[in-house]
Each structure stands twice: as C-alpha cells, then as structure tokens.
Structure 1
Amino acid sequence: MAAGSDRRMILRGLAFTLALLGTPLYAGLGDELPGDARAQVIEFKDLNGWAEDDHDAALSVFIDTCIDLDEPLWAPLCALAQQQSSGRAFFELFFRPVLIENGTDSLFTAYYEPEIRGSRQQSEIYRYPVYRKPAGIPSGQSWHTRREIEEGGVLIDRGLEIAWVADPVDLQFLQIQGSGRIRLPDGSAIRLGYAGNNGHPFKSLGNELVRRGVYNPHQVSQSVIRNWVRRNPVDGHDLLMSNASFVFFRELRRMPKHKGPLGAMNRSITAHRSVAIDPKYTPLGAPVWLEKAGKEPFNRLMVAQDTGSRVKGAQRADIFWGTGGEAGQLAGEIRDGGRMLVLFPIQRAYALEAED
C-alpha cells in the first residue's frame, strides 16, 4: 500500500479535479449492462492473490490506453493515475471489482503475435501473398470468399501485396491472430496490423478436422494442423479453403521492435497484462482481475485492450501471450476456467449492482 503521504496526494488531486469539473468524477462512466447480465461488487480482500500481484506493472499498462478512452470523465482519473506512486493504492482507492455473469461458463484462452518467414519479392520459396485491404469492399457485407481470393485470383495485379510468405498454414494462422511479424531474409521484419476482412464468418480448422473424423478435440493444436496439411497437400488445401474468412493487413512502419502488436484501441498491447474481452460486458480500457484455473493457474491484474470475433460472453477472455513460435505454442495450450472481475470506478460499480 502507498504511504499516508501518497494517499493524501491522490486525494488532494481528486478534490482539485472535482472542483474543476463541478460534477461527480464517476458519473456516467460506462453504459448499462445487457439484460442477460448480473453484476456483483466484490471486496478486494476476497480476490484470490490480490496482495501478491505487481499492481505497478498493471498500472503502467492501464495508463498506456487510459488517455484514449472516449468518455471524457475518464480524463481526470487517468491524470491521477500518472501522478501516484503505488498502483495498489490507486486501484483500491478509486475502483471496486465487479463480477459480471450472463449465465455462460467462464473460458480463458490465449493468443499471440506470429512471426513467420517471408520476403518483399515473390519467389519459388515465398509464394503466398499477404494482402492490403482493397478499396470498394462493402461495409457489413460479405465479399469474395477465401477460395475465390486464393484460387480465383481476384486480387492479382492490383498492387496489394505487402509481402510473400513460405507457408500457407502460417499465413492463415497469421490471419487468425490478426497481427504479426514477417521475418525477411536479411533479418529485418515487417510489422503487420489488422486492416479488415471479407465479411465471412471464421471457421476453425481444428474443429473442421474433428468434424471430418481426423482427430479428437483434445488432439488438435497448431502444430498438428500444420503437419497434417503438409502430409496431405490436396486435402490440406481443401481444409484451408474451408475457412471462408480472409483477413487483410496494413504495414506498421513506425512500431518499435520491443512493443507488442496493436490492440483494438490502436495501442501496443503487453504480454501477460493485456486481454481481449467482449465489449458488450467489459469496457475497453478497463482494468480486469483474472483468476485463471487450469494446469498453470495465475491471478493477475490486466487491462482490457483488445477484442476478438470469438471472444463472446461476460466471463470470456483471450490473454495476449507474447510474440513468436514459443508464445504461440504456449498460447495454444491454454483453455481454462476461472473468473474475471472488472474494476469499475466506485460509484459506477455500485450503480451496476443496483441495476439488478
């Protein structure tokens, strides 16, 4: 906890901010929860492992995107965050954990930033193009399918290629993750960010292999899918085409090498501290407390800085695990239960509970 002087400094800053605003600091923060959701305020002392976490690390991540929140009344809270010296004191003074549930089981998975081999030039080795988003794709409507794009050549000779890569499975995994790095022959890298998609729903390659009777659910992983496609080139190509969804990228030329990929808030995310959530239940930018069960359980304060098409539900979260093959392998093994709590400003937290 912060020393008494730290607390007094924060409270003086809060009083000054309130005087400037002339309104309650927490009024109006966050929309009402969906009708299927239930909210319960939980005390910090009832969070498993709260006292042992690195709250300062979480505060640093929170500050990275706090300034980008649309709600103007977050501004004074963000300003206070940058002025204090104890992350734990800050969160305990101004927030309360809220358990939000909508009747579905909790599920925590993980994702990563792929790094795959590629080149700026097409060759016999690097044959599979990574595309920019073409102009003219209708918003909210389905465009050409993956098969039509890759087999029909609808994007050929339009100058949309960012690079070419060596492995079509790695390319599709890159699209599934929505961002990544292409490692060039000279050792440099291209950073890629999500630019859009063709409007078709995502279809899991692993689930398709299970549906075809090739594997049981517990046997499927990225390495298993990759090796199966290599052993079965014809059926493997058909498997890849079964996912009609296709993702386009943009090149991120000014991204520092040590920074993570961009999340939904257009800011770099941080391994083991950033999480993708369903914004229907959890506001983007909010701190969240995650208690992950499973083989390698942990309790950690994270920040909701990303979203995902497969991340749906009040107790659904996708943890950013890092960059590269090792991070990808570890991320693929995570599929656990537990509980997630959203840290809301105090007044908003109790207002959500009262809405029930």
Structure 2
Amino acid sequence: MAIKTPDSASMSGIAVDKILRFHRRVTALLAALLFLAGCAPKPPQVTPSKPQLSRVSWDTLAGAEDDLQLEGLEQALARSLSYFERGGREISFLVEGRKVSADRIRRTLLLLREMLARGELRLPALARRFDLYAYPRQVHSGGNVLVTGYYEPVLEARLEPDHVFRYPLYSPPPDLIQVALEEFPWLSAPETGPRRVLGRIEGNRLVPYFDRRQIDGQGALQGRGLELAWLKDPVDAFILHVQGSGVLRFSDGTTRRVGYAAGNGRPYRSIGAYAIARGWIPREEMSLQTLRRLLKDHPERLQEILWHNPSYVFFRWVEEGPLGSLNVPLTPGRSIAADSAWYPDGVPAVLTGRLPLGDGTHRTRPFQRWVVHQDSGGAIRGPHRVDLYCGTGDAAEAVAGRLKHQGNFYIVLKKIDEPADILD
C-alpha cells in the first residue's frame, strides 16, 4: 500500500521566476531551496554504488502468459501509447550505457500490441523481438522488488458537512508553491533525479507546507472554501489519501470521482510500520484490514497513528479514472506505480510474485503477468518497489490490502535495430 503522489500535470506549479518577481528576494529564496534540497551547489556526481539495469535472459521466466488470459493488457498498452502520442515526457534513461528514446518505448508498445492481437506473446517470439532488463535481486529477499497493492475505494460522502460527515477533502490551496528542482540542476541529487519542492511563502522565505497534524488537528485550512466534499470517517479519509483516488457516493445515489491534484510535499511515513514498531500489530499479520481494526478498537490512538504520517493529499474532481501520473486511466491488474527516476514512464514489463486470494485470509497464489508503468507514489521510491493497481471497491481492497510480497520486475524494450531506438 502506498500513498499516491504522482508528479501529475494536474498540479500547476508556480514558475520559479514568478516566485522571484513576486517576492523580489532572490538570495533568500535560493537559500531556502538549498536548505530544503539538503545539498550544496555543486556539479552532479555519479554514485558508483547505484544499481544498474542489466539484460536478463527470457529463460528466466516460465512464460509471459498469466492467469487473467491477458485480460486488460491491450487497453493498458493503448493507454500508454496515448501518453506518448500526446508528447509524453522527455526520456533520459540509461540502459547499458545508452539513453532510451521515447520512440523506442512507443514502438515497444506498438509491437507488443500487434503480437498480442496475433496471439504471439510466447517466449521464442518475445526473445527474438525484445530485450528483458532488471535491477539486481535484493540480498536475502528472493526477488528484486517488494510488490504491494493499491485500489480505488468507494466511500459515502456529502457536499455539505453535518454532525456525521465532518471530515473534509480539500482542493489544492492557492498558497501551495511548487518548485521544479530540475530548473536548478546544481540542487538536484543525481541518485534520485528531478524532484519537486513544495512549500508556502512566509515573509520572504519558502517554508514547508502545513503537515497532517496542522491541517486536520489545528484547522490550518479551515474557512478558506477549499472543501470538495465531506466524509464520515477519518480513517476513510486517510485511506483515500493513501490510495490517491476514489469514488464518492452521495445520499441520492449519484457518484463522483476524485483524483490526486497535489501533495503538501512532506515525506510519507508508514503508519503500518509505526504500529508494528509500537508492538500493536505483529509484522506477519500486518494488512490494511488489521490496521483498520486497530484504529476502530483503539480510538484513543487514532490521532497519534494518523498524524505519524505528515504527508497530505489534495484532490480534484475527475470525469474518468482513476488517473495515474501519466494522466491516463489505470487498468486493474495491469497498471503499476514505480519510481520514474529508476524506471521509464510508460514502459511495459513482466511482474512475478504472489497474489492474495482476496478471501479474507492471508493465503496467496503465484502469479506472473504483463504490466505497464503508468503511475508513481510517495512511498514508491528506488528500484526495489512496485505497487500494483488492483481495481475499485471492496473486492479490490481485499487483494490490495494484503498484497505485500517479494517479487521480480523485468522491463521490456524492443531490440535496437534502428537509430531512432537510442539516443547517443
């Protein structure tokens, strides 16, 4: 389970030059950026210990088919293709010392879709047309990624508060400032790539934005007209923040979808890990379901646990979705969230691991399936984390809430046979 804070186009950041003109304090603002970035102005340096993608034999896989009989894969591939047709993001991703071009990923998707239509997604054909890449396996883990799951909850809501529906969902506040660190290359940490710094202006300084305790506990945003809707359960509101999107059901039976619009820029801290550390839930029993039960049975711990995570999410109304960080609808069982600093956006991949049965127990079964990188998340950082989108509603929660197992993640790229496939 991972908080969904994609670097989405839905959050319109205020350009740095506008900030500078408005506040006219160049030196103070850059000093604040230096402090927040946690690094001194110096040229980027290569980190020798950084893991590298390496080519893997297709024989590593038992087969590229999966138990869903490839259901939803064509749709997921088409949605990534639509992202590249809109222009996508500039690709500057190294594989075997070469930069992967956006067009190579686009043509990988096209070829996979053609082979899928012809029923040719079999190992011999795949090995002839594609290369498989992976980061090294983690020591003592049995895999190269930790696989978790997320889903889209369906929640009762109201457009006006009352004595039951008292917990607001906020739209992005106008004083939330977003600074693109890639505009300041001497501030960006080379091992993580471009990141956003978010905050607010206090006097002539850029300071961190309000955290969860200040917003929910101290009313930092009250009275500003930012409320989109109201929920009746603070735990539901928190889980919606974690999942990043949801369907709201109103008293007349109508529904509307909300999606991620922005975050407060604070680091994500796992309340599950906190509950384990405090001895409230055994590690082997941790799941979204057991966490819900803890919060229900011990309301006196509610604020302590929820406020442990200072990260906060702001929402917007969306017509379709849920939308991932590529601004395309996610496909259940096919879309995954990963760190774009380590995996190219839109790239297809094969994910293996164990999937919960969704029957209320911790029983699992092995799975191996085609997926597409279409989302990101505040807790999904580094090369060894992948979050699988499991769908909408209670059935999806039953799987996603218990999905936390080691697996392997292999990205797929069309073999280099044309100059357009690489960037020198």
TM-score by length of 1: 0.79
Task: State the Cα distance separating 1:211 from its structure 2 match.
Answer: 2.3
Question: 1:13 maps to what in 2?
Answer: none
SS in 2 for 1:144: coil
Deviations 1:129-151 (A, max 9, x none): 01001011132132111111112
Correspondence for 1:99 among 134, 138, 152 = 134
Change (3 A) 1:134 1:44: same
Q: Distance in 2 between matches of 1:235 and 1:78?
A: 48
* 1:288 partnered with 2:349: yes
Task: Report the RMSD for the aligned CA atoms in angstroms.
Answer: 2.9
Task: State the Cα distance separating 1:89 from its structure 2 match.
Answer: 5.4
Correspondence for 2:213 among 138, 143, 147 = 147
Change (3 A) 1:64 1:153: same
Task: State the Cα distance separating 1:223 from its structure 2 match.
Answer: 2.8
Question: 1:323 maps to what in 2?
Answer: 392
Structure 1 residues not aligned, in runs of 5+: 1-32
Deviations 1:11-69 (A, max 9, x none): xxxxxxxxxxxxxxxxxxxxxx9852233323434422225674574233112122323
* 1:108 partnered with 2:177: no
Change (3 A) 1:189 1:51: closer
Matches within 5 A, 1:249-328: 249-252=315-318, 254-255=319-320, 260-293=321-354, 295-328=364-397
SS in 2 for 1:194: strand
Q: Report if aligned partners of 2:108, 2:413 keep a CA contact under 8 Å in 1.
A: no
Q: Distance in 2 between matches of 1:230 and 1:51?
A: 41
Question: 2:265 maps to what in 1?
Answer: 199
Task: State the Cα distance separating 1:343 from its structure 2 match.
Answer: 0.2
Task: State the Cα distance separating 1:94 from its structure 2 match.
Answer: 4.1
Question: 1:184 maps to what in 2?
Answer: 250
**Higher share of residues assigned helix:** 1
Task: State the Cα distance separating 1:218 from its structure 2 match.
Answer: 2.2
Question: 1:68 maps to what in 2?
Answer: 83
Change (3 A) 1:287 1:88: farther
Task: State the Cα distance separating 1:345 from its structure 2 match.
Answer: 2.0
Task: State the Cα distance separating 1:291 from its structure 2 match.
Answer: 1.3
Correspondence for 1:47 among 58, 61, 69 = 61
Change (3 A) 1:192 1:55: same
SS in 1 for 2:177: coil
Q: Distance in 2 between matches of 1:55 and 1:221?
A: 28
SS in 1 for 2:120: helix
Q: Distance in 2 between matches of 1:236 and 1:44?
A: 48
Task: Give the letter for the 2:343 counterpart.
Answer: T
Deviations 1:247-267 (A, max 9, x none): 110111x22xxxx41011000
Question: 2:176 maps to what in 1?
Answer: 137
Q: Distance in 2 between matches of 1:277 and 1:224?
A: 25
Task: State the Cα distance separating 1:242 from its structure 2 match.
Answer: 2.2
Q: Distance in 2 between matches of 1:45 and 1:56?
A: 24
Structure 2 residues not aligned, in runs of 5+: 1-45, 91-101, 179-196, 200-207, 356-363
Change (3 A) 1:110 1:82: closer
TM-score by length of 2: 0.67
Task: State the Cα distance separating 1:316 from its structure 2 match.
Answer: 2.1
Q: Distance in 2 between matches of 1:76 and 1:288?
A: 14
Q: Report if aligned partners of 1:37, 1:102 keep a CA contact under 8 Å in 2.
A: no
Question: 2:96 maps to what in 1?
Answer: none
SS in 2 for 1:63: helix
Change (3 A) 1:263 1:167: same
Q: Report if aligned partners of 1:63, 1:81 keep a CA contact under 8 Å in 2.
A: no
Q: Distance in 1 between matches of 2:269 and 2:111?
A: 44
Task: State the Cα distance separating 1:307 from its structure 2 match.
Answer: 1.0
Deviations 1:149-188 (A, max 9, x none): 1122221121111100010001001001111111111221
Percent of aligned positions with the same letter in both sequences? 30
Q: Report if aligned partners of 2:260, 2:314 keep a CA contact under 8 Å in 1.
A: yes
